[in-house]
Copies of this chain bind each other. A is one copy, B any other.
Amino acid sequence: MAIKLGEIARAVNAELDGDPDCLISGAGTLKNATAGELSFFSNRRYFPLLGKTRASAVFLSAADREYCPSYKLIAADPYLAYVKALHLLYPEEGTRPGIHATAAIAENASIEPHSYIGANAVIGERARIGEHVYVGPGCVLEDDVVIENDSYLVANVTLCRGVQVGKRVRLHPGVVIGADGFGIANDEGRWLKIPQLGSVIINDDVEIGANTTVDRGALEDTVIGEGVKIDNQVQIGHNVIIGEHTAIAGCVAVAGSVHIGKRCMIGGLSALSGHIDVADDVIITGMTGVSNSIKEAGMYSSGIPATDNRLWRRNITRFKHLDELARRVKALEDKNQEQQ
C-alpha cells in the first residue's frame, strides 16, 4: 500500500519538512531503508547512520532535524509516530472465517460466525468462542474455555479448563494458560498435591509471547489486567494479579500470589518472590531479584554486570568475605578514633 507523505504526517500528527506528495510504500531501518521508505531515529546508538540514510523520510525530534538528509517527520515522540505510521502502511489482515476439516470440536461448543478454527485444533466441551476469533493450528482448548471477540491464538496454544480470554487478546505459539500452579504441602517427607481450584482471567488487549506460562489459581483466579504485554518464556505463578498496562520482558519468573501494579515495566530474566506486592509505576531492570514488596514507584535493580573473568574471580572471592571486610574497616575506624 502506497500512501502520500503528507497524509501520513497528518494521520500521526507529525510536522512534515518535505514533499507531501512523496509516495511511501514501506519502512526500513536507517541503514537499509531506500527510496519510497520511511525510517525513524530515536536510539542515539544509531546516530552515525542518520546522516547517511537513504530513506525518503525519517521520523525524528526537532533537535535532530539538521542531521537528517531526507524529508523529516518531526514529532515529540518520533518512535511512537513511526509506529502509528507502520499501522497505516501495514494494516492487519482480517481473519478469514472457517473451520478446518481436521479440527476436533466438541458438539456442545459454540463458535460465533466469522471465526476461524485451524487444522488439528481441539475445542473442548462447552467452550465458547466469540466473533472474529482466530484459533490457529494445533491449539488445544480444554472444556469450558471462553474466548471473546477478535482474539488471536497463533498456533499450538494450550488453554486449560475454564480459562477466560478477553477481547483482542493475542497468544503466541506454545503459550500455556491455566496449568496447575505449583502447590505442594509436605506430608512426612512426601509432597501432597494441593488441588488448584481457581482459573485464569486474561483481560482485553493482552498479548502473551511464545512459550510463556500462566498458572491457574489455587483457590481464586490468576488475573492478567487489561493491556498487559508479556514477552516470551515468562512464568506467571498461581494467584498472581498483574495491573493494567504493565509490560514484562522475556524469561521473567513471577512466583505465586505476587501482586504487580499498573504500568510497571519488568526487565528480562528478573524474578519476583512469592506473596509480595509491587506498587504502580515501578520499573525493574533486567536480571533483578525482587524478594520484598516494593511500596513506591521508582526504578529498582540488582543485576551484576559482566566484567573480565579474571577481575570477576578476584572480586567474588572478596565478596565471600565482604562482611569480614566491613568489620575490619570498622575496627580500623575504632582504632583511629581512639588515637585521636
Contacts and interface: CB of A to CB of B under 8 A. Distances in A.
B182 A158 contact: no
A211 to B, nearest CB: 5
A321 B318 CA distance: 10
Given A299-B309, A309-B301, A251 B253 contact: yes
A286 B291 contact: yes
Contact of A138 (B122, B192, B195): B122
A43 to B, nearest CB: 7
A95 interface: no
Interface stretch (A1-9, A14-22, A62-70, A225-233): A225-233
A292 interface: yes
B215 A210 contact: yes
State the oligomeric state as a number of copies.
Answer: 3
B255 A249 contact: yes
Interface residues of A, number: 127
A187 interface: yes
Contacts of A182: 209, 229, 231-232, 249-250
Given A100-B104, A142-B155, A251-B271, A304 B316 contact: yes
Contacts of A290: 305-306
A245 B160 contact: no
B227 A191 contact: yes
Given A211-B211, A229-B191, A329-B328, A185 B304 contact: no
A205 B251 CA distance: 26
A315 B308 contact: no
Contacts of A51: none
Given A136-B140, A215-B232, 13 more contacts: A102-B120, A137-B142, A138-B140, A156-B156, A176-B232, A189-B263, A209-B213, A210-B215, A288-B306, A298-B309, A314-B323, A315-B319, A332-B333
5 contacts: A86-B195, A120-B138, A137-B142, A156-B158, A160-B173
Rank and list the top 10 A-B pairs by shortest CB-CB distance, nearest first. Answer: A104-B119, A299-B309, A314-B323, A158-B173, A179-B210, A122-B137, A182-B231, A301-B312, A176-B210, A251-B253
